[in-house]
Amino acid sequence: MSDVMWSIAQIAVRDAVSKAAVSKTVKKLLDARPETPVERGGQGQVLRISLAHYDEFRQRFVNPAKATAPIRAGDDDQVSGRSTGGRPLRDEDSFDEARRQSEWLKVGREKIRHQEECGQLIRRDRTEDAIKEIGAKLLAIIRRLPNQADAVALAVSKEGVHGVRVLLRQIAFEIGNQMADELEAIAAAAPESDPLIEDEEA
């Protein structure tokens, strides 16, 4: 599929907002979804970005009550035919080009929705935070293992290697249960959906 790629300036004009506002959303989009189609310049700056991905991200994560630009759902979205990829359009082909871009946008958004439903799209920033939290909780449990030193020494003195083997199986079972309890608690405390962008900044 050929993504409809727009510059930050084009999106700003379309939505009647500042380029800084669009750049801010683009940065959040790329942080959360680095796989988003994007064209970069020689110094890494964003030249163009997939318009479908931009609009879909704003639809999911921008609070409509606080948004300065319209939230575009896609089904009734009209694409300006004034330019495509920075190339000026002639009057005779502007309507056809606008219709073509509009159809590509709908296809692009449907593809994104399908990827999300299949679990292929997740927010990287939120996932990284969750991994760090899980790692810290599990590491804390493992670090308590030296507290079992006295019990291990006692097992050695009473039953030798066999006693230690039995005790270690029991300790491993208890550690597994503690880890499962921690993961269950983290999952229970996790929100069902990610907060909106403005709510994160509040």
Q: So what's the pLDDT on residue 85? A: 45
Q: So what's the pLDDT on residue 2? A: 53
Q: So what's the pLDDT on residue 136? A: 93
Q: Are 66 and 53 in contact (CB under 8 A)?
A: no
Amino acid at 182: E
Three-state SS letters, 33-71:
CCCCCEEECCCCCEEEEEHHHHHHHHHHHCCCCCCCCCC
Long-range CB pairs of 163-169, under 8 A, 24+ apart, other chains included: none
- DSSP symbols for 57-109: HHHHHS-TTT-SSPPP-STT-----SEETTEEPPHHHHHHHHHHHHHHHHHHH
- 164-196 in b/e form (b: 16+ CB < 10 A) is beebeeeeeeebeebeeebeeeeeeeeeeeeeb
Q: So what's the pLDDT on residue 52? A: 85
Q: Are 7 and 86 in contact (CB under 8 A)?
A: yes
Per-residue pLDDT of the chain (202 residues; tens, 9 = 90+): 456 888 999 999 988 889 998 999 999 889 888 888 899 999 889 999 988 888 888 877 665 555 556 666 554 444 444 444 444 444 445 556 556 666 767 777 777 776 666 666 677 777 888 899 999 999 999 999 999 999 999 999 999 999 999 999 999 999 999 999 999 998 888 777 666 555 455 4
